[in-house]
Chain A
């Protein structure tokens, strides 16, 4: 019931956005956590993620006249975010003095999907999550992007294709390669 009301609210907001007369602030409030999460998981730097998130909404606001409603507002915003993250990461390659890395497990520890794991299971899962996190950082840019969109943002292949501008087959190839790399790096742990 609550979920239906939420979906209706999202649809309503997107319609408003498509009409280019809606409350942009409401759209920011709705999608900001998701954009920030993707930027943070990709860049691993809170300040950079915040900058990318703000730039994303600023770009969206400036180019709202060009949004024709061919895709959802979420897809459109994620397209902008993916491009900004890519550009930011490429620029930062030359700014070694600015590199700051944050680690979720160092900051707050492992968060179990299972509600109450035993202490031993918790430790083992923490190591495995850390291994996946470390492996994701080593993936090539495109593989990392689709890996995070699939396994953090829980997007399906078509959504990822729309957001990244890749063909569905290309997305699938990158996902299989990234999963293979994760398996290889983690080995028997996974």
Chain B
């Protein structure tokens, strides 16, 4: 065996798995004893700290806690997700439907529209309407003159 224990041998001592030779060396070697004691002390401090922390963090327990809470927590989260999904679906269905519905015009709008239609469908603008009589009479005169000329030209 070398002068001092190896890290592996120290670890074996920590786990209670040391060989008789290791234990024999440990009894005689104060340096290895100190090394092992230092490690044991650090790990014991780690254990004490975690245990004290856990005791501090442990929630106050009531009789029905373990029976009720797990039943509530998981289904509730699934249920809330389902509600949100359904709400989104309903909103998605409602909004396009509202847009696609035909808008019923108000009576005033309808009157205005019919006025515009009438205005647009006129062949001659309103102020020029009196002149149309002349145009119509001229065209009827020309038509009559043309017919008489054709009659004269016939043998």
Residue ranges of A at the interface with B (Cβ–Cβ < 8 Å): 25, 28-29, 32-33, 36-37, 40-41, 46, 49-51, 53-55, 57-58, 61, 102, 104-105, 107-108, 110-114, 125, 128-129, 132-133, 150-152, 154, 156-157, 172, 175-176, 179-180, 183, 190
List 9 other contacts, CB 8 Å, given A46-B59, A154-B47: A28-B61, A33-B58, A41-B54, A54-B70, A104-B52, A107-B57, A110-B49, A180-B11, A190-B38
Distance of B113 from chain A, by nearest CB (Å): 56
User: Is A55 a contact of B70 with CB atoms below 8 Å?
Assistant: yes
B50 — which chain A residues lie within 8 A by C-beta? 37, 41, 104, 133, 152
Distance of B36 from chain A, by nearest CB (Å): 12
Q: A51-B70, A113-B48 are in contact. Are A36 and B54 (CB under 8 A)?
A: yes
A180 — which chain B residues lie within 8 A by C-beta? 7, 11
Which 9 A-B residue pairings sit nearest by Cβ, starting from the closest?
A104-B53, A37-B54, A113-B44, A111-B52, A111-B49, A57-B66, A113-B45, A132-B46, A113-B48
User: Is A172 a contact of B15 with CB atoms below 8 Å?
Assistant: yes
A104 — which chain B residues lie within 8 A by C-beta? 49-50, 52-53
If over half of B's interface residues share one DSSP class (helix, strand or loop), that class is named, otherwise mixed; here it is helix
